[in-house]
Chain A
Amino acid sequence: MKQAELIATKLQLVDVDITVDEVAELITDRAEEFSIDTEMATPLIEKELIAKYDLDLNVYENTTATEVPYAYIEDLDSPDEFVQVVAIVDDLWEEYDDRIQQVGTLADSTDRIKFTVWNVADQPLLEKGTVYHIWNAVVKEHNGKLELKITAKSDIEQLTGENYDVSEYVGTDHESTPFSGVVTRIEPGSGLVERCSVDDCTRVLKNGHCSEHGNVEGEDDLRIKAIVDNGSEYRRVTMTTEVVETLLGYRLQDALSHPDIDVDEEIHQCLVGQYADCMLVEYEHNNYVSSIELNADPDGHGIIELYDYADELRYIL
């Protein structure tokens, strides 16, 4: 009996020692007693159990969240499904609709997804770079793409770094790997680019032309393709909008509305010849930069060890 299972699970979560069978038996007994079907008997039993164990209704109701499946973002594929996710607020966008409280992207270790919080949801403001456990968010499809809607029914708990390794959520993949080296080259096709506006096609246009869809309207974007080289190996890397915006310190919209900004020159000054410590995610033979730190201070202990080793070597040779 599915209802019995749900109630038992919820009660167990608030530390009530009860089994599914016990709940099922109570429901069946009550149904027989009042000559009603089990579906009608279920809420009665639920209320009785809440009273019997003197449960705080708010606490008990919040456990409904556990009914919805925990999902990784990359697995979200069913519109109108309620889910729970643990994710970092990866980006917050400027909201153009007065009815929207917040819009941006959430990321977990598998992927990113757009999220929206409407004003009517009456939810607290989410902070960029913070990890949240969100229950009862609903998956919606908009223009063929999935997004996550946080509603009045959703519950949000902020997780602190003590409980969770925040950095785990900054990447877009479990498989992200570190790579450090010097940025030796910015490749053509970096800076302000136009992408194909046809649904699900994000190809960069060349003179307004998409290799797949021909002449189309372009959507502005910022990206960097570069080579990071450590002297023995190199990676050809791609930085997408969010990473480029963080590096340059301004948004795509700002770059577009200020034609005097020389984006290419700023990319050069910011990256070329600098040491970059990157986290890379390999996807379809491209190395995407999920995070980047420039010119990090070298490790002091390592330097002393290096000096001692050079000293030793000098005498051996």
Chain B
Amino acid sequence: MTTNSSTQTANDGGFNYHTAIPVLDYEINKVSEIFKENPESKYSPKIAVLPTGICTSRIHYVGYVGQKRLSETEDGDTKVHIRCTEANSTVNIFSNSRFSSVTERLADVKQCSYISVVAKLFLTESQEGDTLVGVTPEVVNEVEQPVRERFLFTASEESLDRITSLSEGIETEDQKLAADHYGTDQLDQYANAVQTAINAGIKLRKRRVKAANAE
């Protein structure tokens, strides 16, 4: 099956690199289909089907650290759960014991800061038994507010392109998978979410420019 049909992947330098799709919180939390590219291979990447019509093994997300919880696994490893709070939703970021240096960075992240992550998506269950989308970073860095602003605009632009393309008809394998799994009757909800994100970006930017002018 062909995935990532509209993104660049390459096997150079001895490893595959798949581009990281910028995805807004609303869409991250709507993901409910993740499959293994090659079910027989242990190392095959897991591919998330995004409702706006693209399949990807890697996303980019920048969020505001609302809550951070550290705990310990049975093996004594540190486990980090960060909740990036958005206007209407929360993005759940979890450390993975396989990436110890990323876990350390996540553990050091300051509350009320912004983080930029390149991450995999996975499905888990909340304490209430609901399906929850988890974000596992491969890399993480604490960043300044303008990075969050640019993310909101960039991810919005990319999302709008995907929504437009899907609304015009199904042409790629990725779009077919998305349409089969999620349908295309709720695309207006995604456009709505994009507008919310752009609004949030504009507000942040205004506040920042105002503060800079006041100084």
Contacts and interface: CB of A to CB of B under 8 A. Distances in A.
A313 B192 CA distance: 9
Contact of A268 (B141, B158, B198): B141
A205 to B, nearest CB: 19
B167 A229 contact: no
B177 interface: no
A234 B19 CA distance: 7
Interface size class of A (residues with CB under 8 A): 20 to 34
Given A236-B13, A310-B195, A231 B60 contact: yes
A314 B188 contact: yes
A124 to B, nearest CB: 37
Nearest to B187: A317
Interface stretch (B28-36, B41-49, B82-90, B145-153): B145-153
Contacts of A229: 19-20, 60, 118
Contact of A317 (B12, B17, B188): B188
A310 B158 CA distance: 11
Contacts of A187: 13
Given A232-B19, A313-B160, A314-B192, A273 B118 contact: yes
Contacts of B142: 269
Contacts of B132: none
A269 B141 contact: yes
Interface string A281-308: 0000000000000010110001100110
Given A229-B20, A231-B7, A274-B141, A309 B160 contact: yes
A231 B20 contact: yes
A272 B6 CA distance: 24
A307 B202 contact: yes
B162 to A, nearest CB: 10
Contacts of B157: 306
Interface string A31-55: 0000000000000000000000000
A275 interface: yes
9 contacts: A184-B118, A227-B17, A269-B141, A273-B116, A273-B117, A275-B150, A306-B198, A310-B191, A316-B167
Given A232-B19, A233-B8, A273-B143, 16 more contacts: A182-B60, A185-B139, A229-B60, A232-B8, A234-B19, A273-B118, A273-B139, A274-B116, A274-B143, A275-B150, A297-B205, A303-B153, A307-B195, A309-B160, A314-B191, A317-B167
